[in-house]
Amino acid sequence: MAVRYVQTCRLPTPFGVFDMHGFEEPDTGKEHIALTLGDLDSPEPMLARTHSECLTGDALYSMRCDCGYQLEEALRSIAREGRGLLMYLRQEGRGIGLLNKIRAYNLQDQGADTVEANERLGFAADLRDYSMCRDMLEHLNISSLKLMTNNPRKVDALTALGIQISERVPLHVGRNPHNEHYLNTKQSKLGHWFETHQDDDPTA
């Protein structure tokens, strides 16, 4: 078992009133949540996002990445759909942790890209683990996802866990002068899909 279910409560947000389900990794004590909206019993694929924690982008409005913008757009999309799921996974900095992420940002300030910075610190480019998603989906009785992501590795990882991805939904938001190089590196070195270039600078 990757995670065990703990409890559920209501979570009013500007986007809608979600149910928040808490999960815990028995071995590490690490905590994760799932936000759901609408009917969980329908057999139709559910609009969903797996979102890894990004304190700087999600809570501190950092423009160095697109994480906060993607989180908000995912919640808006779920609200528009009237039914959906967001799994919020506690694996900061693509799995290296907050303090190492700050160290990586310092290296980026000196000219390294996001992959080079991780590697100079002795980490792989992406250390995230999605195994907890299988248990979370099983508990919620969700069998098929319309997954909001630009990341092919995420699709491959979830599919390898036996999770059915019926459709990939692009999530292109938040491009700005501060994260242009970061997004280009994700495309060129990590294989992220960017079907169209969006001029969506939030400061414009």
Annotated binding site: 49-54, 65, 67, 70, 92-94, 114, 149, 154
Rounded to whole angstroms, the Cα distance separating 172 from 70 reads 8
Spatial distance between the Cα atoms of 204 and 193, rounded to a whole number of angstroms: 24
Q: What DSSP element (H or E) covers 85?
A: strand 84-89
From the list 58, 128, 135, 175, the catalytic residue is 128
Q: Which two tokens stand for residue 131?
A: 């195994």
Q: Give the residue numbers of the binding site for GTP.
A: 49-53, 70, 92-94, 114, 149, 154
The Cβ of residue 64 has, within 10 Å, a number of other Cβ atoms equal to 17
What DSSP state is assigned to residue 59?
A: I
- The one-letter amino acid code at 114 reads T
Residues of the binding site for Zn(2+): 54, 65, 67
CA 70 to chain centre: 8
Q: Backbone phi, then psi, for 108, in 5-degree steps?
A: -65, -35
Specify whether 120 is catalytic: no
128 is catalytic: yes
Tokens representing 109?
């300030």
Q: Which position among 126, 135, 168, 200 bears the catalytic label?
A: 126
Q: Is the distance from CB of 68 to CB of 174 less than 8 angstroms?
A: yes
CA torsion angle for 114, 106, 54, 174 (degrees, to 10)?
A: -60
Which residues does the annotation mark as catalytic?
126, 128
